[in-house]
Amino acid sequence: MKFEIQYRPAHSLAIAHLEAGESVRAEASAMVSMTRNLAITTDGPMGGRGGLLGSFKRAVLGGETFFTNTFTAQGTAGHVTLAPTLSGDMQAIELRPGEPLYIQGSSYVAAPDSVELDTRWQGLKGFFSGETLFFLEASGQGPVLVNAFGALETLELDGDVIVDTGHLVAFGAGIEYEVTKASRGWIASYLSGEGLVLRMRGRGRVYLQSRNPKEYGHAVGSQLPPRQG
């Protein structure tokens, strides 16, 4: 399984090349096109990895789409092309055994089956902003494809950094974090528009996206005619 990424950075498309028998597990709505020799299984509440509880946990806590599709090349080599909803870059981050990667739920695109996905619920929710924060834990070996809204920036952390939750894509093991407020008080934090931030500490990589999907949603979606409640 190999990821090739084209048309970077604005409208990136990832091509997952599969040898016969290999498979890739993709976020449910990511499939753009594929060769005809792929078998598809949808992992959902009626079965699949982790059964009902596993997919429920993924969907509700992980911010990942409720379902993932696993594409397996049968007989011969094949490929599936994958893209996120919004404009922006993608990157395949190589996992090494014993060094998991924590991925913001909506930033996950795909990984081969040598990579295990698990959810990690991260407690605190913003009282005022209603923000919640969930990560998927990817462990094992192989590439994990993530997407960014906008450009993807990598911070080589050695020390402390404060990151807006809406701009966080992923971070490596060896980084501790706590959810905190951007300003001193809750009210000031709310008014600052920064909502929840993460104070991250340690050594490793932090992957950031240059745009915040939620801010974009509010900026554009609020201009649309109201929907019925």
**In the complex with other proteins, which residue's Cβ is closer, 53 or 224?**
224
Closest CB 77 distance from other proteins, rounded Å: 10
**In the complex with other proteins, which residue's Cβ is closer, 36 or 184?**
36
Q: Using CA atoms, how far apart are residues 196 and 90, in angstroms rounded to an integer?
A: 25
Query: 112 with 24: CB under 8 angstroms?
Result: yes
**In the complex with other proteins, which residue's Cβ is closer, 40 or 188?**
40
Q: Using CA atoms, how far apart are residues 192 and 137, in angstroms rounded to an integer?
A: 30
- Rg of the chain over CA atoms, in angstroms? 18
- Note the residues at the interface with other proteins (CB under 8 A): 6-7, 10-13, 27-29, 31-37, 40, 42, 44, 65-67, 69, 76, 81, 83, 85-87, 213, 217-218, 220-222, 224-229
Closest CB 206 distance from other proteins, rounded Å: 25
Tokens standing for residue 192: 């600052």
Q: Give the closest residue to 117 by CA, choosing from 157, 162, 57, 176.
A: 57
Containing H/E element for 21?
A: none
Closest CB 112 distance from other proteins, rounded Å: 19
**In the complex with other proteins, which residue's Cβ is closer, 6 or 180?**
6
Closest CB 189 distance from other proteins, rounded Å: 22
